[in-house]
């Protein structure tokens, strides 16, 4: 029988690498708490319509990359429901915001999430079909201040702090504004006019986008189309005074906080819900998949999926890519932390007593590996040296006298320790 393997684009995360994942997640939770974010966990699958209406039918994500299936009809009279593994989490958070009427408190909602997302992309380094995001959303009724440029600047400042806290160095922040819905409509008209004489030289996707959603032409990755795309008008010229002053206020607040950024007038992002501020953080160490996170404002998303007006801004970091970045930075050979102790019973008759001793030490807060009485002493020492800083030997004499033999591998010294003092000695 052929051996079964993890499905293309998915992978198992194993120790010790998972320790790095946990470290990054712990840093994120710490920083989110300092900025008054609470955790939200939404379902991994949702009604397909949520993503079609929220993320946009013409986006690559919705038109090509979703894992979608028809659920069995609940009754013969009903149509089967179309379900989709979430390709991103913002639409789900906004659905939950609407469903639980979170806007009715009048307070700004600051929500973060950590979890897997699914996109049927071509797998390569840093790009998977199941990948993980750490993300956050700030959303609320206009009266809660959710539209203020200060919120944009605060989110970006938090991201700079978060990356520092995670130990990720050498990133760049790229910033743009894609304007209001009205600005976008004006820009789409401008693009349509600019594309008309050249679009027949472009790929078939662009020919379709030029009609349905010209902004998405800017997402095109086809190399032959890039010289044409480079000549297209930029969105900055289509922004009205309100959008311009909103963007100016975001930049001024970032300047005041000392957060560095680079303007990228072509950064429109591959999801349709964005309005005004959009951003990406790039990292040079990653090759082609160099976006470690992306986000922006989405003032019309709640209404697009049937909710009340609820402007918002948020981001998602690619956890897989953060891990790759840190691994490249720290080198593959980062030392794994050794346990406090290894308990070695001298003979199988001492296994039960060894379990009890290990239990005492673990309950005292020590990290302990438990050996096996079938091991010869030499094998116990080798196993202990690989995993722990000290070995505790438990033979018949030790058990009877309550005086245990402890060897410290770093110094090579061997000492006799009364059982009652063992935990303290091992901690030191």
Residues at the interface with ligand HAM (CB under 6 A): 88-90, 119, 121, 126-128, 131, 133, 135, 137, 271, 291-296, 298, 314-316, 318, 320-321
Report the Cα–Cα distance between both ends of the chain, in Å, rounded: 53
How far is 366 from 388, CA to CA, in rounded Å?
11
Q: Which of 251, 301, 302 is nearest to 277 (CA)?
A: 251
Angle between helices 319-330 and 17-34 (to 10 degrees): 110
CB of 185 to ligand HAM, least distance (A): 21
How far is 324 from 283, CA to CA, in rounded Å?
11
Angle between helices 181-195 and 204-212 (to 10 degrees): 130
CB of 398 to ligand HAM, least distance (A): 52
Burial class from Cβ neighbours inside 10 Å (0-12, 13-18, 19+) for residue 327 reads: middle
CB of 192 to ligand HAM, least distance (A): 25
Nearer to ligand HAM, 42 or 133 (CB): 133
Nearer to ligand HAM, 89 or 380 (CB): 89
How far is 178 from 278, CA to CA, in rounded Å?
7
CB of 272 to ligand HAM, least distance (A): 11
Nearer to ligand HAM, 291 or 406 (CB): 291
Rg of the chain taking only CA atoms, in angstroms:
28
Report the residue closest to ligand HAM, judged by CB.
Answer: 318
Nearer to ligand HAM, 103 or 318 (CB): 318
Strands 341-345 and 368-370, by their bridges, are parallel
Question: Chain centroid to CA 330: how far?
Answer: 20
Nearer to ligand HAM, 291 or 339 (CB): 291
Nearer to ligand HAM, 305 or 344 (CB): 305
Cβ–Cβ under 8 Å, residues 169 and 329 = yes
How far is 350 from 369, CA to CA, in rounded Å?
15
Question: Chain centroid to CA 404: how far?
Answer: 47
Nearer to ligand HAM, 311 or 318 (CB): 318
CB of 123 to ligand HAM, least distance (A): 8
Identify the DSSP state of 52: H
Nearer to ligand HAM, 292 or 361 (CB): 292
CB of 361 to ligand HAM, least distance (A): 40
List, in sequence order, every beta strand (DSSP E) within 266-347: 275-283, 291-297, 312-318, 341-345
Cβ–Cβ under 8 Å, residues 425 and 364 = no
CB of 315 to ligand HAM, least distance (A): 5
CB of 275 to ligand HAM, least distance (A): 11
For residue 132, what are the β-bridge partners?
A: 116
CB of 219 to ligand HAM, least distance (A): 11
Nearer to ligand HAM, 136 or 368 (CB): 136
């Amino acid at each position: 029988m052929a051996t079964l393997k993890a499905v293309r684009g998915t992978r198992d995360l194993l120790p010790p690498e998972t320790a790095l994942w946990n470290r990054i997640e712990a840093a994120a939770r710490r920083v989110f708490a300092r900025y008054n974010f609470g955790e939200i966990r939404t379902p991994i699958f949702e009604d397909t319509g949520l993503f079609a209406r929220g993320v946009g039918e013409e986006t690559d994500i919705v038109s090509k990359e979703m894992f979608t299936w028809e659920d069995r009809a609940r009754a013969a009279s009903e149509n089967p429901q179309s379900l989709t593994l979430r390709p991103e989490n913002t639409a789900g958070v906004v659905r939950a915001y609407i469903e639980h009427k979170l806007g009715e408190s009048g307070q700004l909602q600051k929500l973060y999430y950590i979890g897997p997302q699914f996109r049927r992309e071509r797998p390569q380094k840093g790009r998977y079909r199941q990948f993980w995001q750490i993300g956050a959303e700030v959303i609320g009724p206009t009266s809660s201040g959710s539209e203020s440029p200060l919120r944009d600047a605060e989110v970006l400042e938090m991201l700079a702090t978060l990356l520092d806290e995670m130990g990720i160095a050498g990133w760049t922040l790229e910033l743009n504004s894609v304007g209001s819905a009205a600005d976008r409509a004006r820009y789409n008209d401008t693009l349509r006019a600019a594309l008309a004489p050249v679009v027949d030289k472009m790929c078939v996707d662009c020919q379709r986008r030029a009609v349905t959603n010209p902004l998405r032409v800017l997402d095109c990755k086809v190399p032959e189309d890039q010289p044409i795309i480079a000549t297209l008008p930029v969105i900055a010229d289509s922004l009205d005074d309100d959008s311009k002053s909103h963007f100016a206020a975001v930049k001024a607040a970032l300047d005041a906080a000392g957060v560095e950024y680079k303007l990228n007038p072509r950064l429109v992002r591959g999801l349709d819900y964005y309005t005004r501020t959009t951003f990406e953080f790039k990292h040079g160490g990653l090759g082609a998949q160099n976006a470690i996170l992306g986000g922006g404002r989405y003032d019309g998303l709640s209404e697009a999926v049937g909710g009340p007006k609820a402007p918002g801004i948020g981001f998602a970091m690619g956890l897989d890519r953060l891990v790759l970045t840190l691994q490249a930075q720290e080198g593959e050979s980062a030392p794994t932390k050794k346990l406090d102790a290894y308990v070695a019973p001298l003979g199988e008759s001492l296994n039960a007593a060894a379990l009890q001793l290990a239990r005492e030490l673990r309950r005292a807060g020590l990290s302990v590996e438990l050996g096996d009485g079938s091991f010869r002493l030499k094998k116990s020492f080798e196993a202990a040296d690989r995993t722990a800083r000290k070995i505790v030997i438990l033979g018949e004499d030790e058990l009877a006298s309550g005086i245990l033999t402890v060897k410290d591998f770093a110094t090579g010294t061997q000492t006799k320790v009364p059982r009652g003092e063992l935990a303290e000695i091992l901690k030191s």
